[in-house]
């Protein structure tokens, strides 16, 4: 038994879907179905429409529905049959749709892609021309010739974009009209029904001609993105031939023209010029080339305590301030618990530029090399001589090496008062970033306690007065373990609120 | 300065803007003039994620935005720039109102997706930035414009002005101009690399902070939701391809740029005498874009890419992925029926989309060359480097003539008409 199915329009997806779902449910093979949408598709023997099989429709998978909705708008006369064949095959092979090496799947994707491209080009190449309505308010009319049956598919885009203006899009086979409140579709039109000019077209052509660079002609590229078939309705396309013709002479003219001399300059604005020499202009090692900026030390020149870290991190590099990233936040927490006011101490790093390895869209911290530390040491030395602190707290191996000029094992040497080669007191401790990297609870707990102990020892040596919170109350002291788990849980940018166990 | 009519100004100020390659209108948040009740919300315009190119010029570049300068007067004297202070080019200046009206009138006719506004530096960075931000504010607030806005941001401008610009613009950009600091110092004496980098870093912080705020509260103000981009001029200084890509890599990773645009240095009227007098190296520009893609989407490291060059420069006759494959033949052939995604991505002729299709399709059965073609692969190019159900490359992969075969294919790029 064969079926002749009449659809109401060339893009009648709903009609096709309802019929196909029942035919497939009844097991009607693809060869037995003839589709007719009134556009010449498959009407070889012009049979009268058949009643549909009286069975509940077969559910159509969503992924197939979305694909079919586009493919059905294609001008190909075999599209309904192709889609039905694919739907029929899907009943016995549900995973078939993901196999793009299958001929039917591949063909359906190709149709959908052509339609999607035609739709996209319509959103790009429709050109509206203004007309005055009877009440003199403006309306906009466009004449467009799509390759496929895409007007109903595409018109909602223009409504979303131009909801506040009255417009019509005329095509040979159908037309769409938006009156500011509802979208209506009507019969096909002809080019003569659309206006033949617009007061802004001359300006648009001026723009098109001026934005074109004659020194870089790439005509094939233009044609692949703006296919010639669309040119007849693009006002600017009239300029293409003369622009190409004159391009070479224009470019040769530019190359041959005499070069200008540097004109005398009046006193105008000049951006702030950094002083020659000085830290910001340092090129003693290659790190400056990849970093955003140098991150100098910060703090009062008469600070009694100086903390030296390793190098700026991602955040410090962006903000130009030391210890503002995850390590800085952990340091802040430790200072608070040690009752030290951050604004009274001087904070700096052994290396003043961020050393990192780009990885996709991220920058991974890399330990500075001995050469980087060496190149940067004059700057650190100058800071130490300027501030002359009572104590230098060197956090981590890099800082310890920079301050003491020798290799130091942090684990073995931390917590003991040492001295640098000019006799200043130096204390070595963990770097906060090292605490963030520890994995077990026990390790974290132990290292955090040591870190706090070292900070307090440095504070006492420097004789810094205890810093109490503004409200005069003693700082809350949750059990050390709880403090650890909240401070060391993650390297989140913002400190987390206390979580009591 | 004699008064110019609107058309003459447009000609001057579009001509002055055309050396900026960027015309993207993508990645903006979705906006619509149609309310959820099916009625007009007033105002004008929409953005739907991906951009739309409304026309193409014969230079192969997309015209998506109205790309103009507010003025081409400039206090700076960058040698590569047509608008530099010492150039004898005709000067013009739009008023804020003229730019706003032109944008709206072009947009209503579906010529454009929106506005890309830049400017020469006049009076001071703050003054210039304030004018640019005013255009964006007028469009958004006074006219309810929902199309795309891209503003050039001026390094050294007051952060409060940038804040305002970012509230109304979808994208902000600062051009790095030259791949190396030496090149910048030589050709753009008033520009400073550290100041450009600091500004980009500042934008990244603002963009990320605003995005984080909006996660907590959907009413928090936006800041350049389509991110930032930049442009480098290629071929005006001595920087090698690897120098250029190294700078790109540092920009992508440090400032989360959406795009680094490469713009082949183009001869300009009334050029400065320190510049090379030759046509733009368009093929070189093309190869740099390909290499940029390899880094961002194909898992190539900078070292891999450098290894595909000769002394830091690509062979312009073949694409960088093919160049890498030809020099690393020991890793091939890759079996398309069992190879990992990572290795399939290294095969010349297989794009990232095709690779994803292969991974799905091969679950249904062993892939043949015909199947591979249906998935959209450039099979002819891939064949020496792969094994398929019905194909073994045999000796072709080792043959000495393989490189020559690719090199002698006719050029895909049309250079002169």
Q: A259, B77: Cβ pair inside 8 Å?
A: no
* CB-based contacts of A285, cutoff 8 Å, min separation 6: A353, A371, A372, A375, A376
Residue pLDDT, tens place only, B217-239: 989 999 999 999 999 999 888 89
CA distance B315 to B295: 18
Which residue of A167, A210, A248, A264 to mutate against B (max B Cβ within 10 Å)?
Answer: A210
A379-A381-A384-A385 Cα dihedral, nearest 10 degrees: -110
Provide the pLDDT confidence category of residue A66 given band limits of 50, 70 and 90. very high
Residue B404's pLDDT is 79
Nearest to B253 among A124, A261, A358 (CB): A358
Four-residue CA torsion sign, B152, B158, B159, B161: negative
* pLDDT tens digits, A132-160: 998 989 999 999 999 999 999 999 999 99
B362: pLDDT confidence band, cut at 50, 70 and 90?
very high
pLDDT score, position A472: 44
Residue of A nearest to B411 (CA): A220
Q: At A145, phi and psi to the nearest 5? A: -120, 90
ipTM of the complex: 0.92
Closest alpha carbon to A458 in A401, A396, A414, A400: A414
- Which pLDDT score is estimated for A257? 58
CATH code given to domain A289-488: 3.40.470.10
Q: How far apart are CA B416 and CA A219, in angstroms?
A: 8
pLDDT of residue A496: 38
Sorting pLDDT into bands at 50, 70 and 90, what band is B63?
very high
- Using a CB-CB cut-off of 8 Å, the residues of chain B touching A96 are 364
pLDDT at B49: 83
Q: Which of A53-57, A187-191, B82-86 has the highest mean pLDDT?
A: A187-191
Bridge-partner residues for A132, per DSSP?
A138
Are the CB atoms for B118 and B152 separated by under 8 Å? Answer: yes
- Are A254 and B198 within 8 A, CB to CB? no
In chain A, list all ranges with CATH 3.40.470.10.
Answer: 289-488
Q: Could you tell me if A305 and A462 are in contact, meaning their C-beta atoms sit under 8 angstroms apart? A: yes
Q: B350 to chain A, minimum CA–CA distance in Å?
A: 15
Are B190 and B244 contacting, i.e. CB atoms less than 8 angstroms apart?
no
Residues ≥6 apart with Cβ < 8 Å to B329: B397, B398
pLDDT single digits (tens) A82-136: 999 999 999 889 889 988 889 999 999 999 999 999 999 999 999 999 999 989 8
pLDDT in tens, B25-50: 999 999 999 999 989 999 999 999 88
Kindly report the average pLDDT of chain B as a whole number.
90
Distance of CA A26 to the CA centre of its chain: 49
Q: What is the pLDDT averaged over residues B129-158?
A: 95
Per the model's pLDDT, the better-predicted residue between A315 and A254 turns out to be A315
B412 contacts in chain A (CB < 8 Å): 220
pLDDT at site A29: 95
pLDDT of A182: 94
Give the span between the Cα atoms of A328 and A215, in whole angstroms: 52
The DSSP 8-state label assigned to residue A102 in this structure reads S
pLDDT at B413 over 60: no
Minimum Cα–Cα distance from A292: chain B residue: B197
Residue of A nearest to B66 (CA): A207
- Name the minimum distance, in Å, from the CA of B251 to any CA of chain A: 8
pLDDT of residue A475: 46
d(CA A284, CA A282): 6
Asked if the Cβ–Cβ distance from B121 to A269 is below 8 Å, we say yes
Q: Does A271 have pLDDT greater than 50? A: no
A48-62, B56-70, B123-137: least confidently modelled range: A48-62
pLDDT-derived band at A463 (thresholds 50, 70, 90) equals confident
DSSP-assigned beta bridge partners for residue A141: A129, A168
**Closest alpha carbon within chain A to B249:** A358
Say yes or no for a CB contact (<8 Å) between A222 and B59: yes
**Which pTM was predicted?**
0.81
Rounded to 5°, angle at Cα B242 from B241 and B243: 90
Residue A495 reports pLDDT greater than 80: no
Q: Does position A478 have pLDDT exceeding 50, yes or no?
A: no
The answer to whether A462 and A391 have CB atoms below 8 angstroms apart is: yes
Judged by CB atoms closer than 8 Å, whether chains meet at A211 and B10 is answered as: no
Nearest CA in chain B to A241: B58
Best probe of the B interface among A105, A163, A222, by most B CBs < 10 A, is: A163
pLDDT at A327 over 80: yes
Q: Mutation target for A interface from B4, B36, B47, B56: give the one with most A CBs within 10 A.
A: B56
Residue A161: which residues within 8 A CB-CB, separation 6 or more?
B32, B33, B45, B46, B110
User: pLDDT, tens digit, for every residue of B304-346?
Assistant: 999 999 999 999 889 999 999 999 999 999 999 999 999 999 9
Q: Which residue of A has its CA nearest to B196?
A: A292
Of residues A44 and A225, more confidence is placed in: A225
Task: Kindly state the average pLDDT of the residues B351-359.
Answer: 95
Which has the closest alpha carbon to A449: A418, A419, A414?
A414
Residue that is written with structure tokens 């959820």 in the block = B36
Q: What is the pLDDT of residue A499?
A: 37
For position B265, what pLDDT does the model report? 87
- Could you say which of A126, A236, A271 has the minimum Cβ distance to residue B192? A271
Would you call A99 and B268 a contact, using CB atoms and an 8 Å cutoff?
A: no
For residue B386, what are the contacts with CB-CB under 8 A and spacing of at least 6? B332, B333, B334, B335, B336, B339, B347, B393
Q: Please give the domain boundaries of chain B with CATH numbers for all domains.
A: 6-280 (3.20.20), 320-407 (no CATH)
Over residues B241-248, the mean pLDDT reads 95
Cβ atoms A289, A354 nearer than 8 A = no
Residue A264 has pLDDT above 50, yes or no: no
pLDDT score of B282? 87
Give pLDDT, residue A494: 38
Tens digits of residue pLDDT in A358-370:
887 889 999 999 8
CB contacts, 8 Å: A157 with chain B: 46, 48
For residue A256, how far is the Cα from the chain centroid?
43
């Amino acid at each position: 038994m064969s079926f002749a199915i009449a659809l109401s329009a060339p893009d009648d997806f709903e009609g096709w879907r309802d019929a196909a779902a029942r035919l497939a449910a009844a097991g009607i093979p693809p060869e037995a179905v003839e589709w007719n949408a009134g556009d010449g598709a498959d009407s070889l023997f012009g049979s009268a429409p058949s009643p549909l099989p009286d069975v509940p429709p077969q559910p159509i998978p969503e992924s197939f529905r979305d694909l079919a909705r586009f493919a059905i708008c294609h001008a190909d006369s075999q599209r309904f049959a192709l889609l039905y064949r694919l739907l029929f095959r899907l009943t016995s092979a549900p995973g078939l749709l993901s196999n793009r090496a299958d001929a039917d799947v591949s063909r359906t994707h190709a149709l959908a892609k052509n339609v999607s491209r035609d739709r996209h080009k319509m959103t790009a190449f429709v050109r509206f021309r203004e007309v005055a309505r009877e009440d003199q308010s403006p309306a906009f009319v466009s004449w467009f010739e799509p390759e496929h049956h895409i007007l109903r598919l595409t018109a909602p885009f223009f409504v979303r974009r131009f909801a506040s203006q009255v417009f019509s899009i005329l095509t040979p086979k159908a037309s769409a009209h938006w009156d500011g409140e509802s979208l209506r579709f009507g019969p096909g039109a002809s080019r003569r029904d659309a206006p033949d000019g617009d007061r802004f077209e001359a300006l648009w052509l001026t723009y098109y001609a001026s934005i074109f660079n004659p020194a870089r002609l790439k005509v094939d590229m233009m044609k692949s993105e703006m296919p010639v078939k669309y040119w007849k309705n693009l006002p600017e396309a009239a300029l293409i031939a003369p622009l190409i013709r004159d391009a070479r002479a224009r470019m040769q003219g530019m190359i041959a023209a005499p070069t200008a001399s540097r004109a005398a300059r009046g006193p105008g604005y000049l951006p702030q010029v950094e002083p020659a020499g000085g830290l910001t202009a340092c090129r003693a090692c290659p790190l400056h080339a990849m970093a955003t900026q140098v991150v100098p030390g910060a703090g009062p020149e008469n600070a009694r305590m100086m903390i030296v870290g390793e190098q700026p991190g991602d955040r410090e590099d962006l903000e130009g301030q030391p210890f503002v990233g995850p390590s800085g936040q952990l340091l802040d927490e430790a200072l608070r618990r040690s009752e030290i006011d951050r604004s009274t101490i001087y904070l700096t790093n052994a290396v003043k530029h961020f050393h990192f390895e780009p990885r996709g869209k991220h920058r991974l911290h890399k330990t500075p090399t001995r050469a980087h530390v060496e190149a940067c040491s004059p700057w650190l030395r100058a800071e130490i001589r300027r501030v002359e602190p009572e104590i230098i707290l060197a956090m981590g191996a890099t800082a310890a090496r920079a301050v003491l000029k020798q290799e130091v094992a942090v684990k073995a040497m931390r917590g003991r008062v040492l001295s640098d080669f000019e006799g200043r007191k130096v204390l070595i401790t963990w770097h906060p970033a090292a605490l963030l990297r520890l994995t077990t609870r026990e390790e974290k707990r132990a290292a955090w306690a040591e870190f706090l102990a070292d900070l307090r020892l440095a504070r006492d040596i420097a004789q810094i007065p205890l810093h109490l919170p503004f409200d005069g109350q003693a700082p809350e002291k949750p059990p050390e373990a709880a403090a650890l788990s909240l401070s060391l849980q993650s390297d989140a940018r913002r400190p987390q609120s206390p979580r009591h166990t | 300065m004699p008064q110019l009519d609107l058309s003459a100004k447009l000609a001057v100020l579009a001509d002055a803007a055309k050396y900026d390659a960027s015309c993207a209108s993508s990645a903006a948040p979705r906006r619509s003039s149609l309310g959820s009740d099916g009625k007009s919300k007033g105002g004008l315009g929409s953005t739907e994620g991906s951009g739309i190119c409304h026309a193409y010029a014969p230079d192969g570049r997309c015209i998506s935005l109205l790309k103009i300068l507010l003025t081409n007067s400039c206090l700076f004297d960058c040698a590569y720039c047509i608008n530099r202070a010492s150039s004898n080019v005709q000067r013009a200046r739009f008023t804020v109102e003229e730019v706003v009206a032109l944008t709206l009138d072009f947009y209503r006719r579906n010529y454009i997706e929106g506005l890309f506004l830049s400017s020469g530096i006049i009076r001071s960075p703050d003054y210039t930035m304030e004018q640019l931000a005013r255009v964006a504010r007028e469009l958004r607030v006074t006219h309810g414009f929902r199309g795309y806005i891209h503003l050039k941001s001026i390094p050294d401008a007051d952060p409060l002005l940038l804040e305002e610009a970012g509230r109304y613009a979808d994208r902000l950009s600062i051009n790095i101009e030259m791949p190396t600091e030496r090149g910048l110092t030589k050709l753009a004496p008033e520009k400073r690399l550290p100041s450009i980098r600091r500004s980009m870093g500042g934008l990244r912080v603002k963009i990320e902070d605003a995005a984080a705020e909006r996660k907590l509260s959907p009413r928090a103000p936006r800041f350049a939701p389509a991110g930032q981009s930049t442009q480098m001029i290629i071929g005006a200084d001595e920087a090698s391809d690897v120098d250029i890509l190294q700078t790109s890599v540092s920009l992508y990773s440090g400032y989360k740029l959406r795009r680094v645009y490469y713009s082949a240095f183009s001869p300009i009227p009334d050029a400065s005498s320190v510049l090379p007098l030759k046509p733009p190296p368009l093929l070189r520009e093309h190869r740099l874009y390909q290499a940029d893609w390899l880094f961002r989407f194909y898992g190539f490291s900078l070292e891999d890419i450098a290894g595909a060059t000769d002394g830091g420069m690509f062979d312009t006759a073949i694409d960088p992925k093919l160049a890498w494959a030809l020099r690393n033949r020991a890793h091939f052939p890759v079996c398309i029926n069992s190879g990992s995604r990572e290795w399939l991505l290294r095969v010349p002729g297989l794009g990232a989309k095709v690779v994803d299709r292969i991974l799905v399709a091969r679950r249904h059965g062993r892939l043949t060359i015909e199947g591979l073609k249906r998935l959209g692969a450039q099979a002819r190019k891939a064949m020496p480097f792969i094994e398929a159900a019905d194909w073994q490359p045999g000796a072709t992969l080792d043959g000495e003539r393989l490189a020559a075969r690719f090199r002698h294919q006719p050029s895909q790029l049309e250079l002169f008409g």
